[in-house]
Structure 1
Amino acid sequence: MSENNILPINENLWKNTINWIPSPENLRLWQELYNEILVINQHLNLTRITTAEEFWEKNLWDSLAPILQYDLTDKKIIDIGTGGGFPGLPISIVFPTSKLTLMDSVAKKINFIKEVAKKLNLTNINTLVDRAEALGQDQNHRKQYDFALIRAVAEVSVCLEYSLPLLKIGGIAILYRGNLTEEEKLKSAEISHKLGGKLIKITNQNTPIQNHTRHCIYIEKVKLTQKKYPREVGKPTKSPL
Structure 2
Amino acid sequence: MIKNLPKMLDIWEKTLHWQPNTLQQEKLQKLYELIITGNRQFNLTRITEPEEFWEKHLWDSLRGVAPEGQFMSLLNNGVSVIDIGTGAGFPGLPIAMIFPNSQVTLLDSTRKKINFIDDVINNMSINNAKTLVGRVEEIGQEYEHREKYDLAVIRAVGNVSICVEYALPLVKKRGLAIIYRGSWSEEENASLENAVELLGGNIELIEQFTTPISESMRHCLYLRKIKNTPIHFPRGVGIPKQKPL
Question: For residues 130 and 153 of structure 1, do their structure 2 counterparts lie closer, same or farther at Cα, with a shift above 3 Å needed?
Answer: farther
Offset, 1:118? 0.5
Deviation at 1:212, TM superposition (A): 1.0
Q: TM-score, normalised by structure 2?
A: 0.95
Partner of 1:23: 21
The residue number in structure 2 matching 1:33 is 31
Kindly state the Cα deviation for residue 187 of structure 1 after the two structures are TM-superposed: 2.2
Give the distance between the partners of 1:138 and 1:172, measured in 2 at CA: 19
Report the 3-state secondary structure (helix = DSSP H, G, I; strand = E; otherwise coil) of the residue aligned with 1:199: strand
Q: Does residue 185 of structure 1 match 2:189?
A: yes
Q: For residues 147 and 156 of structure 2, what CA distance do their matches in structure 1 show?
A: 22
Q: Is the 8 A contact 1:81 1:153 kept in 2?
A: no
SS at 2:210 equivalent: coil
- SS of 2:156's partner is coil
Q: Is the CA contact 1:81–1:104 (under 8 Å) kept in the aligned structure 2?
A: yes
Separation of aligned partners in 2, 1:146 and 1:64: 17
SS in 2 for 1:6: coil
Q: Which residue identity is paired with 2:12?
A: W
1:154 to partner: Cα distance: 3.6
Residue 8 of structure 1 is matched in structure 2 by: 6
Structure 1 counterpart SS, 2:223: strand
The equivalent position to 2:58 in structure 1, one of 54, 57, 60, is: 60
- Output one character per residue of 1:129-183: Cα deviation in whole Å (capped at 9) or x when no partner: 1111001100000010000000114410000000000010110000000001101
Q: Aligned equivalents of 2:96 and 2:62: distance in 1? A: 10
State the SS of the aligned residue for 1:101. strand
Match of 2:134 among 130, 137, 140: 130
Work out which of the residue numbers 216, 219, 223 in structure 2 matches 1:219.
223
Number of the residue aligned with 1:205: 209
Candidates 78, 81, 97, aligned match of 2:101? 97
Deviation larger for 19-28 or 162-171: 19-28
Identity %: 47
CA–CA separation in structure 1 for the residues paired with 2:189 and 2:210: 17
Take 1:99 and 1:159, find their aligned partners in 2: how far apart are those partners?
22
Q: Which residue type is aligned with residue 106 of structure 2? A: L
The alignment partner of 2:217 has SS state of coil
User: In structure 2, what is the Cα distance between the partners aligned to 1:217 and 1:38?
Assistant: 30
C-alpha contact 2:157 2:181 (8 A) present in aligned 1: no
Residue number in structure 2 paired with 1:175: 179
User: Is 1:49–2:53 an aligned residue pair?
Assistant: no
Please tell me the residue identity of whatever aligns with 1:217. L
Q: Report if aligned partners of 2:168, 2:177 keep a CA contact under 8 Å in 1.
A: yes
What one-letter code is carried by the residue in structure 2 that aligns with 1:50?
Answer: T
Q: Distance in 2 between matches of 1:55 and 1:185?
A: 30
Once residues 99 and 154 of structure 1 are traced to their aligned partners in structure 2, the CA distance between those partners, rounded to angstroms, is 28
Separation in 2 of the partners of 1:187 and 1:232? Answer: 20
Shifted more, 53-62 versus 40-49: the winner is: 40-49
- How far off is 1:215 after superposition? 0.4
Name structure 1 gaps, 5 residues minimum: none
Deviation, structure 1 residue 194: 1.1
Instruction: Tell which deviates more after alignment, 106-115 or 40-49.
Output: 40-49
Letter of the structure 1 residue corresponding to residue 105 of structure 2: T
Return the match for 1:78 from 77, 82, 104. 82
In 2, the alpha carbon distance for the partners of 1:153 and 1:128 equals: 21
Q: Greater CA deviation, 17-26 or 107-116?
A: 17-26
- Higher mean displacement: 85-94 or 177-186: 177-186
Q: CA-to-partner distance for each residue in 1:56-99, whole Å, 9 max, x for gaps?
A: 00011100002033121320000000000000000111001110
Matched to 1:141, the amino acid is: H
Residue of structure 2 equivalent to 1:236: 240
Measured after TM superposition, the shift of residue 126 of structure 1 is: 1.2
